[in-house]
Amino acid sequence: MDIHNFKKTILREYDIRGIIDEDLNSIDALYLGKAFATLLKKQKFKNVVVGYDGRISSINFEKELVKGLSSKGINVYKIGLVPTPLLYFTMYSKKYDSGIMITGSHNPSNYNGFKMLLKNKSIVGKDILDLARISSKGIFVNDKKAKIKKILIKNKYLSFLKNSSNIKKNIKVAWDPGNGSSGEVVSKLIKKIKGKHFIINGKIDGNFPSHHPDPTVPKNLKQLINLVKKKKMRFRFCL
């Protein structure tokens, strides 16, 4: 029988998240895809958009997740390596039924996870446990081949951000993507909007060589604070 048990430690209140190859691996990604597809099918939904962050494990997780989703008849639209807000933007602007972002959020580099959305709400709490139950009991919908398609939407997202910006021409702004998945978007955005911009740690690197990825911890802001002081800036963003 086709079943898989997720470790309880990865079933969090707001997402599925764990330590790579300790309590979370690519098999989990495959069966999450199958379970999520089953959930969608039972509610008459047909598609999902999938994105991933810059962590080393994310590409393989995406491969297995997409395999699981598409094997159960759910059309998958892949947007590649993107920051999480771009997944939300894609889902709502393109009116897709659901979305899954593969991301470890602001956890250390050896973590990864999955944030899931269905229409206008996040998959949390009981719904996450239901996905685990579907997998552990093997109550998946029947196999059915589906479409897998890559879509390009970063330029549309950049245009949206540019049009939403109200930064004045003479303002200095410091940016620190922290080697995270927003690095590419920020690097392109600052060339399109007003102001004088300075960016550090813009290169995407899943090992986070510059500092821990959590911007809520003061010591992780040290580089950004030093840049702000040096350039005498008024605004700073740590992403």
List, for residues 130-189, the tens digit of each pLDDT value.
Answer: 999 999 999 999 999 899 999 999 999 999 999 988 777 778 888 999 999 999 999 999
pLDDT of residue 235: 59
Distance CA 2, CA 119 (A): 28
Mean pLDDT of 23-40: 98
In the set 26, 57, 93, 105, the catalytic residue is 105
User: What number of other Cβ atoms are within 10 A of residue 230's Cβ?
Assistant: 10
Whether 234 shows a pLDDT value over 70: the answer reads: no
If we measure between CA atoms, which residue out of 203, 193, 139, 202 comes closest to residue 167? 193
pLDDT class of 220 with cuts at 50, 70, 90 = very high
Catalytic residue list contains 105: yes
- Residue 6 CA to residue 31 CA, distance in Å, equals 9
Judge whether residue 239 has pLDDT over 70: no
* CATH numbers and ranges of domains, the chain: 8-153 (3.40.120.10), 162-238 (3.40.120.10)
